[in-house]
A and B are shown apart, each in its own frame.
Chain A
Amino acid sequence: MENILSLITFIPLVGMMVIICLPKQAIGLIKGVSLVATGIPLVLATQLYFAYDPAHGADGSYWAEEQFAWIKMINANYHVGVDGISLPLVWLTSLLLFLGVPASFGIKKSQKAYYALLLLLEVGIFGVFISLDYFLFYVFWEIMLLPMYFLIGIWGGPRREYAAIKFFLYTLAGSVLMLIAIIALRLDSGTFSIPLLVEMASNGTLTGASLPGGGELLGMSFSTWAFWFLFVGFAIKIPVFPFHTWLPDAHVQAPTPISVILAGILLKLGGYGLMRACFPILPGAFVENAYFLGILGAFSIVYGSFVALGQTDFKRMVAYSSVSHMGYVLLGTGALTVWGTDGAAMQMFAHGTSSAAMFMVVGVIYDRAHHRDLNGFGGLSQPMPVYWGLTTFCFFAALGLPTMSGFIAEALTLVGAFQSSDTRFQALVLFSVIGIVITAAFLLWAIQRVFLGPLNEKYKDYPDMNFREIFCMAPLLFLCLLLGVFPHLILDKMEPSITHLVNLLQSAAN
């Protein structure tokens, strides 16, 4: 199919339009349309995933490209395409959004608006992953914010208004900085095309020389400030310490399916953005600061795990575990090795499945108990054995047990970082190991507090997980196991593109 990427992106938009036209009482129909509008992209993305020839990425070219002029005056194009880095994330998006629909069946408030916004969110996410034009990329990046604001703000918990605007403000603060950098890059290079910008950067022609005053701002050289502006925009999304403070609030207040999407995909946008549209465009500044980025990553790993250890709110604990897990992405790419970057890319996928499943775990118990206090449970293994089993499975995936995808990703990242030509990374690896231990500790402790010990009488009549809940969680856990045992299913697809990226960055280092 020629326009497969556009189809994947805009079918949810069509679904949204249909839902808007439906009467709000037709709830069954609305849910059905949502399932179809997220199901078709899943089928198409699966087909695309298996059709993708990884060798294609070895020279940095893209698959299923589409390009036509959009705003001629400023030379902005509708230019989309995927490679080994974005394709797994596109597929993950289509899967999580599809699972997000049945996971939302428990929501009873203004369902028409809810599903319409959910589909709009999907359009924005797909758009970011497939855009190869920086202007288009930015437009999709911002389109995501609005549905997310309302999804948290309307269907969230008691402090939802605060959490929603905090999420919005943080992300916008990052993205206006990005916008300035994008405009400066455009003025210097005359193009918005990301592949072209990368090419110019590798030729050393992207220096800010054609900007007034050599492009200096606030006393920093062009490449330095442009790099940091872009980096902060993406780092807020990942989120890297110290930009992570919006995350626990947003996660805790958001309804379960939105937390799933937030942790599963939205955080990946930051890591993806760095790999696609920041590091390769300003490789010089990246190489200069790579060690510092490594420190930020390692610190996030350890810091996130320690803060998670101290939480009594189940969801807050899971939220901080995301901060910890996403630190690997920065550590791995900063190391400038193929293994490290492979690990980072794989970690994004692995965390996308395991953290999404973890938020579903929290959702299951919250739907029954209406609280999330870890110390308030106990002995739940007796009334809910299936839930206990799946949760344990899920937590083992998250703590990186061998045979799980998280293990492969973390191992690759750490080995890759250890191999780095910058030997200071070895110290960072040793430091990060603390995070692994603490992660295991808080996850096992959580299992102990929730499932073991004497059964609290209040909970003895709780029904076990129903079919819908299992249906939403099982595919994610299956993926964790599948990719843990056969990691080449995803690594083979990513490898050539990643190697190309690392070669680009390394040539800037030399």
Chain B
Amino acid sequence: MDIYLDGMKAIAPELVLTALALVTLVADLLMRGRNSRFIGYITLAGLAVVGMMLAMRVGAEPQTVFGMVEVDSFGTFFKLFTVASVAVVTVFVLSDRSERKDGIGEYYFLLLGAAIGIFFMVSTNHLLLLMLGLELLSLASYSLAGFHKGERKSAEAAMKYVVFGGLSAGVMLYGISLLYGLTGTLELDVMATQAGNAMPFGLVPQLDHNVIPVAIAMVMVLAGFAYKMSVVPFHFWTPDVYEGAPTPVTTFLAVASKAAGVAALLRFLGALFMTEGVQPVVEWYGDRIGMLLAILAAVTMTLGNLSALRQSSLKRMLAYSSIAHAGYILIGVATLEPDGFSAAMYYMAAYYFMNLGAFGVLLYFESAVGSDRIEDLKGFGWKAPLISITMVAFLVSLTGLPPTVGFYGKYLLFKAGIDHGLSWLVFVAAINSVVSLFYYFSVAKALFLSEPAQRPALSQPLFAALLTGLGLLTIWFGLMPGSIEEFVQRCLLL
């Protein structure tokens, strides 16, 4: 009984989050779909509570509860990330002028449901729970992508997402079942450290005799992560879903959902190849996987950037740019070393500020200009200077130029890459940043390099304040990156 209670205490943030989701659902029911804004405020308040509970947990002793939930700082980092992203997305929903005022209570419920999925997905070494978390996240995301049922694009996005997501989940699940069959366990650290012939067998006997089935299983599991992170060749859904989904949902998919994929991948690889007592042959195999990831990284960033070059819609461009960023993050992942992982985590933090910011500005432009075409933004910078200058800060950061958080993130990734023999990949990434400048700055060009637009700006002071805050943080953490880096390293206890 005590163990049970301790376990409940350890997953208190998850429980509060679940309760919060239920509260929003019931509240919406009681108010008969009226006054949905109020539910948004409940969500924000609840998220603040969950965030505080998580913040107090940073640096605490790691523990395993219920046999499969790892409560540790690594998970806490990504849970905080998720809470912070969902909070900002909630504000986006509240500020979205194209959204209905009433009858959208389930918007918040779905967002919170997705967050619960992420919470479990990022805090387990057990493949079954990982799969469950991932599916919960996916189901909520499908509904969110199709939230504007009446709109063709939104419905199409949801449909594509379901088909592609279902396929990827199936492939991943099949990979997991193969791994289970081969090793006799679903626990990753056991798989990596088991040396003898007793049940469960672990990976060692398989790698000693017959690598092919393990390779097939491994690639299938990786496909599931690649799909969540939108890594080539599992990225096909990204542009269409990002474009069709309501912009706040796109933001959620691009930031929180992608981070969940990164977190799960880091934990998967960490538990499998970097735990204490890992068998030499498993470690050797890890290097092969690292090489595969490095190649995927190179292809992903190049393809993402080249496709982004041709986009005329800002939203689609940001979708392709998020594919390219998945490629950059993989540099850190592919090193399979703690400093590479911490670089990837730092980059996720950087990604949080600059992408939430960029999508927020996109949302503002959609309301103010009524279009997401870059061409239609011509000269708008002179009409809405504050938001547009903030946008330039985000674009500079996305390109990876100082003095912004994106530059420092890229610096850490490059450093980790060069330090672990991936100089060629860093070279590819560097060339890619130059390419990305061209399309990122097509936005700056449209905003400022044309004569002032006729259309008046839209006054959304609170929303503008949020975006400006994100912009200032983007620059501040570029000049003073130490605090985030220290935080990341405290959280990365593999």
Binding site for B on A (CB under 8 A): 71-74, 110, 138-139, 142-143, 145-146, 149-150, 153-154, 160-161, 164-165, 168-169, 172-173, 176-177, 179-180, 183-184, 186-187, 211-213, 215, 217-218
Q: Are A187 and B403 touching (Cβ within 8 A)? A: no
Pick the residue among B399, B414, B420, B482 that contacts A179 (CB under 8 A).
B414
Q: Are A180 and B430 touching (Cβ within 8 A)? A: yes
| B65 contacts chain A at the CB level, 8 A cutoff | no
Q: Are B433 and A73 touching (Cβ within 8 A)? A: no
Q: Are A173 and B441 touching (Cβ within 8 A)? A: no
B416, chain A: closest CB distance, angstroms: 10
Q: Are B414 and A180 touching (Cβ within 8 A)? A: yes
| B139 contacts chain A at the CB level, 8 A cutoff | no
- When chains A and B are docked, how far (Å) is the Cα of A418 from the Cα of B392? 50
**Chain A's interface: helix, strand, loop or mixed, by majority?**
helix
Pick the residue among A72, A154, A179 that contacts B411 (CB under 8 A).
A179
Find the B residue at minimum CB distance from A138. Answer: B402
Pick the residue among A138, A169, A180 that contacts B426 (CB under 8 A).
A180
Q: Are B431 and A176 touching (Cβ within 8 A)? A: yes
Provided the pairs A176-B433, A180-B430 are in contact, do residues A145 and B401 lie with their beta carbons within 8 angstroms? yes
Q: Are A217 and B449 touching (Cβ within 8 A)? A: no
| Residue among A71, A160, A172, A213 with the highest chain B CB neighbour number at 10 A | A172
Q: Are B441 and A149 touching (Cβ within 8 A)? A: yes
What residues of chain A lie closer than 8 Å to B448, measured between beta carbons? 150, 153-154
Query: Can you list 29 A-B pairs, Cβ within 8 angstroms, ordered by A?
Result: A71-B480, A72-B482, A73-B481, A73-B485, A74-B415, A143-B403, A153-B448, A160-B449, A161-B445, A161-B449, A165-B438, A165-B445, A168-B441, A169-B437, A172-B399, A172-B437, A176-B431, A176-B433, A176-B434, A179-B430, A180-B418, A180-B430, A183-B426, A187-B418, A212-B419, A212-B420, A212-B421, A217-B423, A217-B424
What residues of chain B lie closer than 8 Å to A165, measured between beta carbons? 438, 441, 445
Provided the pairs A176-B433, A177-B430, A217-B424 are in contact, do residues A110 and B449 lie with their beta carbons within 8 angstroms? no
A506, chain B: closest CB distance, angstroms: 31
Find the A residue at minimum CB distance from B449. Answer: A153
9 further interface pairs, Cβ-Cβ under 8 Å (given A73-B481, A110-B382, A186-B415): A74-B415, A142-B401, A143-B402, A146-B401, A149-B441, A169-B438, A173-B434, A176-B430, A213-B421
- When chains A and B are docked, how far (Å) is the Cα of A257 from the Cα of B468? 32
What residues of chain B lie closer than 8 Å to A138, measured between beta carbons? 402
What residues of chain B lie closer than 8 Å to A215, measured between beta carbons? 423
Q: Are A172 and B418 touching (Cβ within 8 A)? A: no
B354, chain A: closest CB distance, angstroms: 15
- When chains A and B are docked, how far (Å) is the Cα of A187 from the Cα of B414? 11
Find the A residue at minimum CB distance from B414. Answer: A183
Provided the pairs A154-B449, A161-B449 are in contact, do residues A169 and B403 lie with their beta carbons within 8 angstroms? no
What residues of chain B lie closer than 8 Å to A161, measured between beta carbons? 445, 449
| Residue among A154, A179, A187 with the highest chain B CB neighbour number at 10 A | A179
| B174 contacts chain A at the CB level, 8 A cutoff | no
What residues of chain A lie closer than 8 Å to B433, measured between beta carbons? 172, 176
What residues of chain A lie closer than 8 Å to B405, measured between beta carbons? none
What residues of chain B lie closer than 8 Å to A172, measured between beta carbons? 399, 401, 433-434, 437
**Chain B's interface: helix, strand, loop or mixed, by majority?**
helix
Provided the pairs A146-B401, A169-B437, A212-B421 are in contact, do residues A183 and B481 lie with their beta carbons within 8 angstroms? no
Find the A residue at minimum CB distance from B403. Answer: A139
A12, chain B: closest CB distance, angstroms: 16
- When chains A and B are docked, how far (Å) is the Cα of A390 from the Cα of B418? 54
What residues of chain B lie closer than 8 Å to A73, measured between beta carbons? 481-482, 485-486
What residues of chain A lie closer than 8 Å to B438, measured between beta carbons? 165, 169
| Residue among B399, B414, B486 with the highest chain A CB neighbour number at 10 A | B414
Pick the residue among A72, A187, A212 that contacts B415 (CB under 8 A).
A187
| B396 contacts chain A at the CB level, 8 A cutoff | yes
- When chains A and B are docked, how far (Å) is the Cα of A150 from the Cα of B389? 12
What residues of chain B lie closer than 8 Å to A168, measured between beta carbons? 437, 441
Provided the pairs A165-B441, A169-B434, A183-B414 are in contact, do residues A217 and B402 lie with their beta carbons within 8 angstroms? no
What residues of chain B lie closer than 8 Å to A71, measured between beta carbons? 480-482
| B284 contacts chain A at the CB level, 8 A cutoff | no
What residues of chain A lie closer than 8 Å to B423, measured between beta carbons? 180, 184, 215, 217
B15, chain A: closest CB distance, angstroms: 36
B395, chain A: closest CB distance, angstroms: 10
- When chains A and B are docked, how far (Å) is the Cα of A138 from the Cα of B407? 11
- When chains A and B are docked, how far (Å) is the Cα of A149 from the Cα of B485? 31
Find the B residue at minimum CB distance from A176. Answer: B430
Q: Digitize B465-494: 1 where CB-to-A-CB distance is under 8 Å, 0 elsewhere.
A: 000000000000000111001100000000
Q: Are B411 and A183 touching (Cβ within 8 A)? A: yes
B73, chain A: closest CB distance, angstroms: 18
A151, chain B: closest CB distance, angstroms: 11
What residues of chain A lie closer than 8 Å to B399, measured between beta carbons? 172
